[in-house]
Chain A
Amino acid sequence: MLLEVADLHVYYGNIEALKGITLGVDSGEIVAVLGSNGAGKTTTLKTISGLLRPRSGTVTFNGANIVGRSAHEVVALGLSQVPEGRRIFNVLTVDENLSLGGYLIRRHRDLQRKRRDSVYQTFPQLAARRKQLAGTLSGGEQQMLAIGRALMSEPKLLMLDEPSLGLSPLLSRLLLKIVRQISNQGTAVLLVEQNARQALAISDRAYVIETGSIALSGKASQLAADERVQKAYLGGYEAVS
């Protein structure tokens, strides 16, 4: 396994947010993490990326335990997170945002340029706006920028936190399709999504988190057919569409 999370316990003060999460991602896989608001999906990602410290449990990435490493060291190991709500640097230009994504290779300007060009190839919409301030982009473009920025470090594993949040169904389908492309090029993906239907459609496997624990796990196709999943996470969408 590329990423193995074992028995992760995380607290906010005295509140136990994660009560023993165990999950894994293999190279080349897309793994979805589903669950309702407050279930612990974002906490899981933040703990893996080093923004939060667990009280106990291990996070093994590429064979090494990374618990206790600072977030900027984790990025250097090849694990990149696209945070919830995009969190792009709105007062910097698109180009500058991407350069910061490649901060670790800042002394290799040619390599940086090469990767930036490849991001612009993946997201041609961004290329037209490279000198524009990131804050002036549309929501969809900002999400593209957030993903592009994370790709600048050429991660082995890309973690996406709610990439479709606040986007139109059409746009979120387009984005998830691009996520599939990124995965096809060899990057493993850990995808946190509220939009369970679309997430399951592009994923290989999935976990369902409920109040800090894994409630269900399995192949994405099996989970999509599971009665409990349909009821709790897919039903609503059916009724709407």
Chain B
Amino acid sequence: MGPFLQYTINGLTVGSFYALVALGYTIVYGIIRLINFAQGDLTVVGMFLGWSLLTQFGIRLLPLPVALFLAFLIPMLGTAVTNVVILQLAYKPLLKRSLLAILITALGASLVLQNVVRLIFGPQIQAYPDIVPLNGFGIGPAHVSYLQVVLFAASILLMLALYLFTQGTPVGTAMRALAVDHDAARLMGINVDRVIQIAFVVGGLLAAASGVMLGIYYIQIQFNNGFLLGLRAFTAAVLGGIGNIPGAMAGGMIIGLLESYTAGYISSKWQDVVVFGVLILVLVIRPMGLFGERVAERM
């Protein structure tokens, strides 16, 4: 029982990061039916922006909450802008063409981002400074660090904010309408191009948020982290039913837990086997995902 609780706590922490990346996939997919393969690499862009702020620009000298706030805010704005630039330059001209063309472009965008990060920050592994003290408290036999609590709470807050945005605001409702019918949305007076841009802003914000969290949590970062991270988060999005916002949240948590249990009970070498085994199983048995309804048939 002891390790189980510990694995669960660790899994939920990592799962909440995956959920944030998965939400980026799912929101963009919901609106323009694009699997934005650049989402994982965008996360790494945010990760490195946060790292460079914390290590080279001396914001650590500020009080910890202020430093943390800036270390999240500035990378989030950076990736939001990056994502919109990618949309306008690479995806927008292809929106009315075939889905395949835009999908391949997304793969290209992923490679470009990855290599830009390598050019700027180098190919070597970098280390996040440990700015949050690692001590914590015990729940029975398990240890919970304050860091885990803070990061988990921040992810949940972001997800809650996103949920309220999509469910409770006119622009959020317009986003859900776009998932159904672009032309009908235009006839409502909705500026569809603008709403697509907002979706990419949201995807960018979430990418850096999870990127900085991953950096602070795992310490070691490298320019090519985005590939596997993107695939895991994509699996989470598919598991929850891609296009489905609560589904991406749940999917992220499930993938995080699966990874943690596999690492704990079997071996960390088997993590990816289990995760991608799940992806294959979902695609074969339930392609619409655990909570998906309508989306699969639209592909």
Q: Which residues of A contact B185 (CB under 8 A)?
A: 100
Since A51-B186, A72-B189 are in contact, a sample of 17 more A-B pairs with Cβ atoms closer than 8 Å, ordered by chain A residue number, is A70-B191, A75-B186, A75-B188, A75-B189, A76-B189, A80-B187, A81-B187, A89-B176, A89-B184, A90-B180, A90-B294, A92-B176, A92-B180, A100-B173, A100-B174, A104-B189, A153-B188
For B180, what are the chain A residues with a Cβ–Cβ distance below 8 Å? 89-92
Whether the Cβ atoms of A49 and B189 lie closer than 8 Å is: no
Task: Say whether B173 contacts A96, CB under 8 Å.
Answer: yes
Hey, which chain B residues are within 8 Å of A103, CB to CB? Answer: 170, 174, 188-190
A76 vs B191: C-alpha distance when bound (angstroms): 11
Q: With A90-B180, A91-B294 known to touch, is A75 a contact of B187 (CB < 8 Å)?
A: yes
Q: CB distance A72 to B191 under 8 Å? A: yes
- Give A169 Cβ to nearest chain B Cβ, in Å: 27
A-B CB contact pairs (8 Å), 14 listed: A51-B186, A70-B186, A71-B183, A72-B190, A72-B191, A75-B187, A83-B184, A88-B184, A91-B180, A92-B177, A92-B180, A99-B173, A103-B188, A150-B187
Question: Cβ of A150: which chain B residues have Cβ within 8 Å of it?
Answer: 187
Min CB distance B56 to A, Å, is 42
> For chain A residues 112-159, which have a beta carbon within 8 Å of chain B?
149-150, 153
Q: What residue in chain B is nearest A87 (Cβ atoms)?
A: B184
CA distance A85 to B176 in the complex (A): 20
Give the shortest distance, in Å, between B78 (CB) and chain A (any CB).
29
- Chain A hits for B191, CB < 8 A: 70, 72
Please state if B186 and A91 are interface contacts (CB–CB under 8 Å).
no
Residue numbers in A under 8 Å from B181 (CB-CB): 87, 89
Shortest B181–chain A CB gap in Å is 5
Task: Report whether over half of chain B's contact residues are helix, strand or loop; otherwise say mixed.
Answer: helix
Closest-CB distance, A146 to chain B (whole angstroms): 9
Interface residues of A in 64-89 (CB under 8 A from B): 70-72, 75-76, 80-81, 83, 87-89
Chain A: CB-nearest residue to B171:
A106
Residues of A contacting B263 with CB < 8 Å?
none
Asked if B103 is at the interface of the complex by the 8 Å CB criterion, the answer is no
Q: How far is A96 from B174 in the complex, measured between Cα atoms in Å?
A: 9
In the complex, what's the smallest C-beta–C-beta distance from B102 to chain A, in angstroms? 21
Of the candidates B183, B293, B294, the one whose C-beta lies within 8 Å of that of A87 is B183
Chain A, residue nearest B183 (CB): A51
A72 to chain B, nearest CB (A): 5
Which of B176, B189, B192 contacts A91, CB < 8 Å? B176
Q: Could you give, for residues 181-209 of chain B, a 1 whenever the CB lies within 8 Å of some chain A CB and a 0 otherwise?
A: 10111111111100000000000000000
A92/B173 in contact, CB under 8 A: yes
CB-defined contacts of B73 to chain A, threshold 8 Å = none
Other-chain residue from A71, A104, A106 in contact with B186 (beta carbon distance below 8 A)? A71
